[in-house]
Structure 1
């Protein structure tokens, strides 16, 4: 799957910056470009997002990196599913999410992109790449923590990342409808996934390595941990419906559709969806499904990657090929390496 157009544009800015400024890479070169020039050429931004972009053009590069991070993680998590994150990066928009169905997959796509932007902003702050943030000032060096140790080092500023991600990503939801409520909820679930998975690292101080004094700081986890967290939320995603209120009877908030209690709301950390997912077996522009024709499958698996499920009962083609490589290499004095040539005949299976 290709990279979305917005990411190509942003990475192009980074590459140009590197060519011109070398090691003085990111911020000075991007800021030197006129903000209007950059922001007006990023497709799909809402007016409010363009305003944020003009005020903080250096942050937009970080946003692009976060979206790319989310796309990569989405592809990894769904690599063995019929839907393999195929709706990411195909649309001429800032976020490349083209779901025409308000499904569980759309919920995950929004959540993982929101998590990616939050993560990328927090990381850039800690690395000193952004002007308006750095380390978490509430965890200043030497301040006593509730558990008896003291804060030290540079704690990741998760509060700033959450705030920026919310302001920027929620700004695209300009319509007051049920899909906008769904997207905002899943954006928040993605941000929350980063927050609840933050880690604390500590260093002991004292004679002979004793821990008479301990200083700690908060750090970001591996992004894979956040992806694993959200795929669990995807598997337990909640079907919701809008509650219409006000004078115009517009959607006000979301309620659980299959609940014994009327107007029960989903948890903030839940992924939510409005419509049942399509089966993703066949190409269908209406739903954004690319189908599974040509997808590789595992003939012996009974899981989602198995040929029976992946190919939707259409069967599969078998491709045989021989793989060769150098093996059993030995160094001889003096001075050459001798290798044998090994080969293996293998088979691949692809859906009809």
Structure 2
């Protein structure tokens, strides 16, 4: 006969197992929460502790291992996460969804994990941000395990000499794949969301790789000599953001389909063009961003500043979703009556005036 004690022990054991399963599910579901590193300004202090990687908030088990393998790169990872957040907010400053952030581990809220258009962009810009920042750290000599890309050498077909410090984007991309992709790969290829995220991660990195540019320096007294040394550099990150915003606007809705032993993402409609490795894909339609919906991590547009005279997305008609807007007076302080003083300063007065500010109801 089973005693009450044994019965309780069994219940406790089942509860513990269930708790571990739930924790594991949450960690895998929130693989993009490493973006929380963007908010950890004291990262270098934390990593001085031998067990510092394990104490970093926002990392799952696979990312902790990458951190331990190359702890010196983690400050670059933090900068990459910051770049991703800033660029996302720059690209989406006026639409209904403005890439707003939360205080919790999921920086972008549930929007980042729902398989929508917005989630596609977040994954692409984050993967690109990590690759960009780590590559830049390599070129600056901040990391022991990498430096400039010395494989770029010899003479080009155009006749210039490859030299200088080419950005080692191969290293940055490889690091991004290990750090950003591994949590998704651990979910297995049977997960449609993982397939989507992995595709968009790679599309973000390809936006960097496909737009590397050549910089050159001419040799000669007049700079007219035909002898040039050249090197490859990454595009500005704003350009990467512009490219991915265009990909976002042309993203393809897909669904999972079993093809033999493989699971693939195929366009949901035959009218859609086949997507390429450079394009973004999404599984689910976006939520309605007009009204506040905490369940889906949506803040709504109430209180957002709008432009009364604009017919674009930042205009009060569109941004306020037909709810109307309120107008108030706001004081603005600007520099004015600036004068140059020899030598070498500019002296300005502070002018105050009032402007109308319109906010959505």
TM (norm. structure 1) is: 0.83
1:165 aligns with 2:176: yes
Quote the offset at 1:219 in angstroms: 1.1
What residue is the counterpart of 2:120 in the other structure?
107
In 2, the alpha carbon distance for the partners of 1:338 and 1:78 equals: 36
Structure 1, gaps ≥5 residues long: 18-29
1:77 and 1:231 in contact (8 A); partners too: yes
In 2, the alpha carbon distance for the partners of 1:198 and 1:293 equals: 41
2:218 and 2:228 in contact (8 A); partners too: yes
What residue is the counterpart of 1:27 in the other structure?
none
Matched residue count: 321
* SS, match of residue 139 in structure 1: coil
In 2, the alpha carbon distance for the partners of 1:272 and 1:76 equals: 21
What residue is the counterpart of 1:135 in the other structure?
148
Structure 2, gaps ≥5 residues long: 1-33
1:7 aligns with 2:7: no
In 1, the alpha carbon distance for the partners of 2:52 and 2:301 equals: 38
What residue is the counterpart of 1:121 in the other structure?
134
Quote the offset at 1:133 in angstroms: 0.7
Q: Residues 144, 281 of structure 1: CA spacing in aligned structure 2 closer, same or farther, 3 A cutoff?
A: same
In 2, the alpha carbon distance for the partners of 1:91 and 1:119 equals: 25
* SS, match of residue 211 in structure 1: coil
1:175 aligns with 2:205: no
What residue is the counterpart of 2:83 in the other structure?
69
What residue is the counterpart of 1:23 in the other structure?
none
What residue is the counterpart of 2:203 in the other structure?
189
- Cα deviations by residue, 1:88-136 (Å, 9 ceiling, x for unpaired): 454425x766324311111001101111001001100000111111011
* SS, match of residue 171 in structure 1: helix
Which of 78, 85, 92 in structure 2 is aligned with 1:78?
92
In 1, the alpha carbon distance for the partners of 2:156 and 2:330 equals: 61
Quote the offset at 1:245 in angstroms: 4.9
What residue is the counterpart of 1:349 in the other structure?
358
Q: Residues 232, 186 of structure 1: CA spacing in aligned structure 2 closer, same or farther, 3 A cutoff?
A: same
In 2, the alpha carbon distance for the partners of 1:322 and 1:158 equals: 47
Quote the offset at 1:148 in angstroms: 1.7
1:45 and 1:172 in contact (8 A); partners too: no
2:109 and 2:297 in contact (8 A); partners too: no
Quote the offset at 1:342 in angstroms: 4.2
What residue is the counterpart of 1:56 in the other structure?
70
